[in-house]
Amino acid sequence: MCGIVGIVSTSNVNQLLYDALTVLQHRGQDAAGIVTFQDNRFYLRKDNGLVRDVFHTRHMRRLVGNVGIGHVRYPTAGSSSSAEAQPFYVNSPYGITLAHNGNLTNADELSEDLFRTDLRHINTNSDSEVLLNVFAHELQKQGKLDPTKDEIFAAVRAVHKRCKGAYAVIAMITGYGIVGFRDPNGIRPACYGVRESENGQSEYMIASESVALNAAGFSMVRDIAPGEAVYIETDGTLYSEQCAEAPKLYPCLFEHVYFARPDSIMDGVSVYKARLRMGEVLADKVLRERPDHDIDVVIPIPDTSRTSAMQMAHQLGVKYREGFIKNRYIGRTFIMPGQKMRKKSVRQKLNPIDLEFRDKNVMLVDDSIVRGTTCKEIVQMARDAGARNVYFASAAPPVRYPNVYGIDMPTASELIAHGREVDEVRDLIGADWLVYQDLEDLITCVNDVNEDIDGWEGSVFNGEYITGDVDADYLARLENSRNDEQRSGDQMADDDNAIIDLHNDED
């Protein structure tokens, strides 16, 4: 999962891009990058680390120009080497940079095709570089010295025909503008907004989440539709066109469960409102299963589950308490690479307040249970703090299947609920009682007044992959190449073979 942003303004966009990436930091903590252009030249800075650590004053001063794009990354494919940080760049045609959120399910085939047929070289293991080269090749095939919106939209149409999987993309074409587009299923989010400059000219921002627009003073216009492309020229002229033959809107359920900020609106659905409903219907399930429950207090595992936990406590008629204090200088454990790092960081990240646990029957609420690493540690922390009984509620259904669309759930063997019943998972995390949200209830929670939503991408819960190209052989190959051990090996290999990024603004 990543965060992307692109801006066309009437003045330098470096600070706007920095601020937007800071707002989107929750979507990726592995690497960050910004590229701008002025006088037909790109200015790029990217590296591993948080936004605040990657960009210093000396870097910001060099990022000149009134058009730019940015990216925050966490690794799903390839390694967490700085060579995989985005945006990526190709010099032909025109000079194009690209930032991508999602995952291509046919990246290997495309990479081979790019080499043998399109005569293009891929320098990393990133599917984002593959997507960039597909777009660049299709734009080059238009054969125009000065591309218009028609050539750009034609290139996007060709991308949709060649690329499978999930992708929300912002690309910048030197001297012309930026183009944003979503895959034909709209799995990964993207929206755009507008504001007026001091001289009355329209300025535009494209971003993964509406909260980035709000923070920068842009008014949201709408979500980019599945398969649609939005092209904004450097003078602020905006064009849009549907570029897919049969688009369907199937947004990712896990965005609402975990990834998105609660103050975002995604495809017309309030993330905050959806999480309130998750807590409400989960409380109803608790009352169905144990109408005579003995829960003394509901405690969220901060931060994502807080909204659901508050509503759950209200619905149950029991106390809501903040039992864990979070160290905000530790990143989100779910998106940290490596199981050992995730486990180690839990106790560094959370510290229990003993008086909220001592001699009480505690219901802990989390947004989901994926690997079970953090849940087991947290349950034990509650016991160590003196809880009489520790119950656990997940606002999401059991995560039993790998994700292939850009979320780091690549291997079934890493998922604690894969092939296990609820009672088995309960025993593994050490809880006295475990309750999961039902999938039907979760879908009810996220369904809203948006009639354009055709369904929801929930493959991690039901094993149904909507792109239709994921089978058992694909998942087996994925498991072999993307487990934690392989990722650690790839990282060591990258460290041993120091890769020099010639385009980066090095220290």
Binding residues for Mg(2+): 304, 366-367
Prior bond of 93 cis (ω within 30°): yes
Nearest to 18 by CA among 56, 73, 49: 56
- Active-site residue, 2 included: yes
* Whole-number Å distance between alpha carbons of 141 and 231: 19
CB of 385 closer than 8 Å to CB of 350: no
> What is the identity of the amino acid at 74?
Y
Q: What do you get for the CA distance between the two ends of the chain, in Å?
A: 27
* Whole-number Å distance between alpha carbons of 266 and 182: 13
* Whole-number Å distance between alpha carbons of 144 and 126: 28
* Whole-number Å distance between alpha carbons of 42 and 283: 53
* Whole-number Å distance between alpha carbons of 336 and 28: 9
Nearest to 409 by CA among 417, 401, 420: 401
* Whole-number Å distance between alpha carbons of 336 and 346: 11
The single residue of 2, 191, 252, 375 carrying the catalytic annotation is 2
Indicate the burial class of 294 (C-beta count within 10 angstroms; 0-12, 13-18, 19 or more). Answer: exposed
* Whole-number Å distance between alpha carbons of 139 and 151: 7
Q: What distance lies between CA 480 and its chain's CA centroid?
A: 23
* Whole-number Å distance between alpha carbons of 243 and 240: 9
Nearest to 366 by CA among 427, 281, 308, 426: 308
Q: Find the helix packing angle between 306-316 and 271-289, rounded to 10°.
A: 40
The helix (run of H) or strand (run of E) holding residue 279 is helix 271-289
* Whole-number Å distance between alpha carbons of 305 and 294: 21
* Whole-number Å distance between alpha carbons of 36 and 67: 6
Q: What are the residue numbers of the active site?
A: 2
